[in-house]
Chains A and B, each alone.
Chain A
């Protein structure tokens, strides 16, 4: 059996294990990678690699950025930042048609600028925003669709855990990835707002205007979002100015979030412990996937699959844009059936060399695949965010949430079209 065939068999076994065995993605990648390495070289090499890589990955300074950024987001989450952001956005936008849904999008974007978690945003914003939209007679299709779609912003707007992992995997600067992802993040927010306005203009009953709020109340509500602005400015500003490394940015952000929350008496000891526990669980899950990906990557490297694939794709007579379209389609389908982070970690070692051989900028490619895969969090049959929103809404069937999400899918496609047709947009800021 040639090395390429062995590599393809390994990828096939990995997919079969992930989809049939209910095995954690990181475990499956580690097991297939280890066995594949053993098959190509020998058992001693595979055992030595297993011990070495476990220690190297777990003790890598670069990976310490993951728990620290997650801790920052969890502290903000348990201190009730979501609710405060929502109140601010509601005070400014609530009185226009569709304004409560717009306020939800803005609050999700604000929270995404602190935390990188889609699911936490979907769960909390559902509990905060859905009752309000129900109170003002919003159609459940629009209200649940807005929450599910806007909560995906966490993966695109920096600091995003997905981008951190891509940066670590491809050796790109995390600061540059964060900076580049700001434009698509802002674009998605603007497109979501415009889409809500369009839907409510066509059918005003879907999102009636809420009660008016005075200027005094509007300005008073800004107090609730000050900490978000300070944290975002500290993390992004410090990173870009080169004052600190990504790990230090995460640590500074977490420490500041803790101080602000304690100062504002928004965080109890119980909630602090919960935020640490959640951080450990999420970080461990990500670190296990990264370890599995590193072991699987070692196997792929000895089979030379990524290089063979990149060479063969580069020799194809198809235009690069068509190949990119096919890759995007694969990510779209993959994102619809599995978690975005896991999908990206599995596929990046395979598709990144292909993109580079086609002459695409790695930074641009990373942002494009992040946006494509993010769509998967709201598209059937898996669509994690839609399940959460449907469960939190209680009386709204899943089909209605998917119908609501369908309203926002053109926004993602438009954003992708802009990124593909005008790649320079990422460097505008």
Chain B
């Protein structure tokens, strides 16, 4: 076996490991987002029932917002992997395949930089809130961990986009 083949085989094996790892992470985060969604539903219903009995659940609106943030952020990578975002392909599909691949690479790089900056800035925001020991308005609890969860979701999206870019670079096909 010549060295090129060994390199190709190694690269392909690494890629498979990466795909499996990213897939597992996305599924786990999706699962957590699902739990948050169900908790959100249960919390809102409990508050309605308790409110009618004269004892509303304190901080419901605040907690709903935090759960909502986790639902959105933790499903970012899974939605990207499943091709769940709205994309307009009406003109692009008329271009030749090499042009489409180059344009997809441009898309990936732009998205990578943008969400990389977003992850960094949510991290900075969370650390700033921790430093000033800021508490939530109603429940008076520390809430920077929720911002860190949002940061985690954005990082997972960045990793998913990196994987897609690698697949494009290695010529394993276009985006679906």
Binding site for B on A (CB under 8 A): 18-27, 30-31, 34, 47-48, 50-52, 54-55, 58-61, 63-64, 67-68, 71, 244, 247-248, 250-252, 254-255, 273, 276-277, 279-285, 287-289, 337-339, 341-342, 381-382
The verdict on A55 contacting B125 (CB below 8 Å), with A25-B86, A27-B111 known, is yes
In the complex, how many angstroms separate the beta carbon of A406 from the nearest chain B beta carbon?
20
Q: Which of B34, B91, B104 contacts A280 (CB 8 A)?
A: B34
B41 contact set on A, CB distance < 8 A: 68, 71, 251, 254-255
B175 contact set on A, CB distance < 8 A: 22
Which A-chain residue is minimally distant from B124 (CB atoms)? A51
Separation of A36 and B33 alpha carbons in the complex (Å)? 32
B155 on the A face (CB < 8 A): no
Q: Are A276 and B121 in contact (CB under 8 A)?
A: no
Q: Are B45 and A282 in contact (CB under 8 A)?
A: no
B90 on the A face (CB < 8 A): yes
In the complex, how many angstroms separate the beta carbon of B175 from the nearest chain A beta carbon?
7
Separation of A215 and B66 alpha carbons in the complex (Å)? 52
Q: Are A23 and B86 in contact (CB under 8 A)?
A: no
Q: Are B118 and A50 in contact (CB under 8 A)?
A: yes
Binding site for A on B (CB under 8 A): 30, 33-34, 37-38, 40-45, 47-48, 61-62, 64-69, 71-73, 75-76, 78-79, 82, 84-92, 100, 103-104, 106-107, 110-111, 114, 117-118, 120-122, 124-125, 146-147, 150, 154, 175
The verdict on A25 contacting B84 (CB below 8 Å), with A20-B103, A279-B37 known, is no
Query: Interface SS of chain A: helix, strand, loop or mixed?
Result: helix
Q: Are A252 and B68 in contact (CB under 8 A)?
A: no
Q: Are A283 and B86 in contact (CB under 8 A)?
A: no
Q: Are B118 and A54 in contact (CB under 8 A)?
A: yes
Q: Are B89 and A22 in contact (CB under 8 A)?
A: yes
Separation of A277 and B69 alpha carbons in the complex (Å)? 16
In the complex, how many angstroms separate the beta carbon of A124 from the nearest chain B beta carbon?
19
Q: Are A251 and B121 in contact (CB under 8 A)?
A: no
In the complex, how many angstroms separate the beta carbon of B137 from the nearest chain A beta carbon?
12
The verdict on A22 contacting B114 (CB below 8 Å), with A280-B78, A283-B75, A337-B90 known, is no
Q: Are A285 and B110 in contact (CB under 8 A)?
A: no
27 A–B contacts, CB within 8 A, in A order: A21-B103, A22-B107, A23-B107, A25-B88, A27-B111, A30-B118, A34-B114, A47-B120, A51-B118, A58-B72, A58-B73, A60-B65, A61-B61, A61-B68, A64-B67, A251-B41, A252-B45, A255-B42, A276-B38, A280-B78, A283-B72, A284-B72, A284-B78, A288-B76, A289-B86, A341-B86, A382-B88
A30 contact set on B, CB distance < 8 A: 114, 118
Q: Are A55 and B86 in contact (CB under 8 A)?
A: no
B44 contact set on A, CB distance < 8 A: 64, 68, 247-248, 250-252
Q: Are B72 and A25 in contact (CB under 8 A)?
A: no
B85 contact set on A, CB distance < 8 A: 24-27, 285, 288
Q: Which of A31, A64, A280, A339 contacts B86 (CB 8 A)?
A: A339
Q: Are A64 and B64 in contact (CB under 8 A)?
A: yes
Q: A27-B114, A31-B114 are in contact. List 15 more A-B contacts (CB 8 A).
A: A19-B90, A21-B104, A24-B85, A25-B88, A59-B65, A59-B150, A61-B68, A67-B40, A248-B44, A248-B45, A251-B40, A280-B79, A282-B84, A285-B86, A342-B86
Separation of A30 and B66 alpha carbons in the complex (Å)? 22
In the complex, how many angstroms separate the beta carbon of B35 from the nearest chain A beta carbon?
9
Q: Are A52 and B125 in contact (CB under 8 A)?
A: yes
Q: Are B117 and A50 in contact (CB under 8 A)?
A: yes
Separation of A288 and B75 alpha carbons in the complex (Å)? 10
Separation of A19 and B89 alpha carbons in the complex (Å)? 7
Q: Are B48 and A252 in contact (CB under 8 A)?
A: yes
Top 10 A-B residue pairs of the complex, sorted by shortest distance between their CB atoms? A51-B121, A251-B44, A24-B85, A59-B69, A58-B69, A284-B75, A284-B79, A64-B68, A280-B75, A281-B84
Q: Which of B73, B75, B107 contacts A21 (CB 8 A)?
A: B107
Q: Are A22 and B90 in contact (CB under 8 A)?
A: no
Q: Which of A51, A67, A288 contacts B68 (CB 8 A)?
A: A67
Q: Are B71 and A280 in contact (CB under 8 A)?
A: yes
The verdict on A281 contacting B48 (CB below 8 Å), with A18-B88, A22-B175 known, is no
Q: Are A24 and B86 in contact (CB under 8 A)?
A: yes
Separation of A59 and B91 alpha carbons in the complex (Å)? 35
In the complex, how many angstroms separate the beta carbon of A288 from the nearest chain B beta carbon?
6
In the complex, how many angstroms separate the beta carbon of B121 from the nearest chain A beta carbon?
3
Q: Report which residue of B62, B88, B107, B125 has the largest number of chain A beta carbons within 10 angstroms of its beta carbon.
A: B88
Which B-chain residue is minimally distant from A23 (CB atoms)? B107
Q: Report which residue of B37, B89, B106 has the largest number of chain A beta carbons within 10 angstroms of its beta carbon.
A: B37
Q: Are A248 and B84 in contact (CB under 8 A)?
A: no
Q: Are B72 and A287 in contact (CB under 8 A)?
A: yes
